Structure 1
Amino acid sequence: MLAPREIDEYILPTERRVIRVRVHWSTLLWDMTQTALALGLLVAIQRYVPASLVLDNLTWYAGLVVVVRLTIIVMLWWVERIVITDKRVMLSTGIITHNIGMMPLGKVTDLTFRRTLTGRMMGYGTMVIESAGQIQALNQIDFMPRPEEIYEALAELIFGDKKQTRSHLLSKPKR
């Protein structure tokens, strides 16, 4: 599994990591709900259907598949990282096939974020990063945690005064 420090191997010696976050945990809610409902259904089948060896085996293996599925989804969420350096934005995903989407900050022409009512209540938003004339590998990040904080840091890196940006970012704690 990709540890947080291993994502730093993709950072060049000439750049500095500013922000490293994981996609918001609320992306797991639907999968956890499905797992709970499936396990509840399997328990109900075990309880209310007459016992048989075949049924016991089928429900046990179905429960195992449901739990393994959720485990894999949580592992994929765990390794997915959003990394912002002073030169680029990267999205790292995948366990077996590792993918890194990247956009240089010099190509960014517009930066916006959106928050739904649910996003405001739970603390996530969607960050849209646009570049001149082409769709980049990384143009929209859904379920970005603390979007205002990240938006301000990115805007300062992209559009702010370079001297002020460096001193301001050095005083902020890294996450």
Structure 2
Amino acid sequence: MNAPPVLPTRAGKDADKYLLPGEDVVLATRRHWAVLVEPTVRFLPVFTLGGWLLLLDPDNAVTSVVGLVVVLGALVYYALRVGEWWMRHFIVTRRRVLLTSGVIVRTVTLLPLRRITDLTWEETFFGQILGYGSFRFESAGQDQALRHITFMPDAKHVYKEVSGLLFSADWGGAAAGDDEGNPDSERSPQAPAPRRDTEPIPPLRPPE
């Protein structure tokens, strides 16, 4: 039996808060750092422009105030993007997958493993170089909130873990069980089939 994974501090708090008693965590990870490349590319030119305006003419109140506002705005934007990356975690248990996110307001999106009908794994050219990929979940023809997760680190390992839970009975219940991943043996016993009125009535015993 594999030892439980060591969870990041934030993911550990989310697991304690949102998981059910006895629900084992198979893996928990935040998105790849490459998700910050686009915000960084947007942040640096604006921050540089604001710094240039701030230092262009210290005696000019207009350019100094504009430069300060631009610098502060760029810093707030970048801090929110970094904070969102740091706080968002993809958690997989033997019953469901969860995505926790939000810096100020926490949001938890979940999908039971039993409802996943198809799993698509995609690696772009840069994803193969940097080591990230994307997952797409399909669930019974419904438009799920948790259906496309991008920038997953070590995507090959995550894909094997999730696929094992979905399609292998050795992983303990996602391939056979109820919607929460409980094995069939834990289901309530079925009631006996009702007697049909068309069945013949047993003959009466003759009097002794």
TM-score class, shorter-chain normalisation, is: 0.7 to 0.9
Amino acid at match of 2:79: T
1:139 aligned partner: 147
1:72 aligned partner: 80
- In the alignment, is residue 3 of structure 1 matched against residue 10 of structure 2? yes
Return the alpha-carbon distance in structure 2 between the equivalents of residues 158 and 77 of structure 1: 27
Q: Which runs of 5+ in 1 are unaligned?
A: 167-175
1:101 aligned partner: 109
2:96 aligned partner: 88
Q: Which runs of 5+ in 2 are unaligned?
A: 1-8, 173-208
Which of 121, 124, 129 is 1:116 aligned to? 124
**3-state secondary structure, aligned to 1:155:** helix
**3-state secondary structure, aligned to 1:141:** strand
**3-state secondary structure, aligned to 2:98:** strand
Identity of aligned residues (%): 30
TM-score w.r.t. the length of structure 2 is 0.72
Corresponding pairs, count: 163
Which of 39, 53, 56 is 2:61 aligned to? 53
Amino acid at match of 1:24: H
**3-state secondary structure, aligned to 1:69:** helix
**3-state secondary structure, aligned to 1:112:** strand
Return the alpha-carbon distance in structure 2 between the equivalents of residues 90 and 96 of structure 1: 18
Return the alpha-carbon distance in structure 2 between the equivalents of residues 93 and 129 of structure 1: 18
**3-state secondary structure, aligned to 1:13:** coil
Contact 2:54 2:66 in 1 (8 A): no
- How far did 1:156 drift? 0.5
Where relative contact order (Cα < 8 A, 6+ residues apart) is larger, the structure is: 1
Amino acid at match of 1:146: D
Q: Of Structure 1 and Structure 2, which has the larger fraction of its residues in helix?
A: 1
Q: Of Structure 1 and Structure 2, which has the larger fraction of its residues in strand?
A: 1
Amino acid at match of 1:55: T
Alignment root-mean-square deviation, CA: 1.8
1:170 aligned partner: none
Amino acid at match of 2:164: E
TM-score w.r.t. the length of structure 1 is 0.85
- How far did 1:50 drift? 8.1
